[in-house]
Amino acid sequence: MLLFYACSAISYTRAMQKGSVLELTVETLGFNGKAQARSPEGKVIFLEGALPGERVRATLIKDKREYGIARLLEVIDPSPDRVAPRCRHFTRCGGCSLQQAAYLAQLGFKQQFVADAFRGIGQTAEFPLLPIVPSPREFGYRNKMEFSFSREEEELRLGLHPRGSFRHVVDLAECPIFSFPMEDLFASAKCWANQRDLTVWDVRGHQGALRNFLIRTSHLGNPLFDLVLGEPLSVEAIESWTSLLPPGDALLTINRAWGDTHRVDEQQVLRGRGFLEEMLMGLTFRISSRSFFQTNPWATELLYGEVVAAAKECSADVILDLYCGTGTIACLLAREGAEVWGVERDPDSVRDAKRNAELNGLVAQFRQGEVEKMPDDLPVCDLIVLDPPRTGLHPKATEWLLKERPQFLIYVSCNPDTH
């Protein structure tokens, strides 16, 4: 894990205590968007909402031995990169972390995250780092959102969790990063639930009906709606729910897991085919409600274009695509004529990947399994493509890679701090 340090703007003679008000000068941001500064006593302080170069007032809310956590009170000297957040919920909702910064500044921060990861974690002094490529869309790009229900102070809420809290929900009236206009739908959904006095999933009591509401969108047409319940509803309630939804496919999912786990115990197609189709770089992909697919299709085309170009330079005959999801990268590489094998742990994604290859008239092989426990029937490959989850590679997967020693490796990562 990378640690960033900054110096305080003033000094104090007494030790910090919880509730102390500090003036700090922030120099860096962490990958999670948290600003990082150093107290007068030399301790690292984390706080949200501040930008590098800003002098701020903040109150200390946690004082650990190695670090402190503070809450931003006031920006005394704002950064020239500071802008008014687009979303009215930004300071409370945990969905975004950098809307207070101009987009070009955000790109600069992220490029620095990558450079620091290579120098700090990778212990690489000199390396080529290409300029960061911006997304074609700053807002309205996200094609999937999963919102949560809660009932707090007798009020039904539908929205996203505050950062670091899964017990509470910020009631949303808008979401500028989402590609679907959900405001009227949310009002109708809450009215529907309140009229029937429906229960909400209790994370402590492990009971209740309403859990989550997932929406996926596509360039090709209608969205996909998935209402996730902890307990079944009456036929009348389900029919009335379906009637209030806009045109699109609709699913009903039962998830009885106690924790905040994406599990499907039962699933019913209420309307349509029960899946989504998307077009990406000239290929059509089928996406189930729970299958992984990149959430920014505009940026995805740029990203996968780089992967295909890099694979062409390798001139590989046999390619292994690990964490292949619904087979997007595998299908794009198979279109170039390579023999491609994909490995993915999620059975729904594997089924989608096989269908996607058939749908596009491509030949690619897919295996269900965990990358840390590689299937035995895989061929010797020239190139391995990795696109792991945010947590990075499992240590056993890293061991397997070191033993396999492929000639070429392409690593797609959404978190440069992991490996």
CB atoms within 10 A of CB 263: 12
Structure tokens at 45: 């302080």
Contact 364, 327 (CB under 8 A): yes
Is the C-alpha dihedral spanning 258, 263, 266, 269 positive or negative?
positive
Catalytic residue list contains 331? no
Whole-number Å distance between alpha carbons of 212 and 82:
34
Helical ranges in 218-284 per DSSP H: 235-244
Contact 38, 19 (CB under 8 A): no
Q: Which DSSP state fits 371?
A: G
Q: How far apart are the first and last CA of the chain?
A: 11
Is the C-alpha dihedral spanning 358, 363, 367, 371 positive or negative?
negative
Angle at 165 between CA 163 and CA 167, to 5 degrees: 145
Whole-number Å distance between alpha carbons of 254 and 274:
15
Contact 51, 29 (CB under 8 A): yes
Contact 44, 30 (CB under 8 A): no
Whole-number Å distance between alpha carbons of 308 and 336:
8
Question: 60-70 burial, b for 16+ CB within 10 Å, e for fewer?
Answer: beebeeeebbb
Contact 286, 356 (CB under 8 A): yes
Which among 191, 331, 381, 414 is annotated as catalytic? 414
Instruction: Kindly list the catalytic residues.
Output: 414
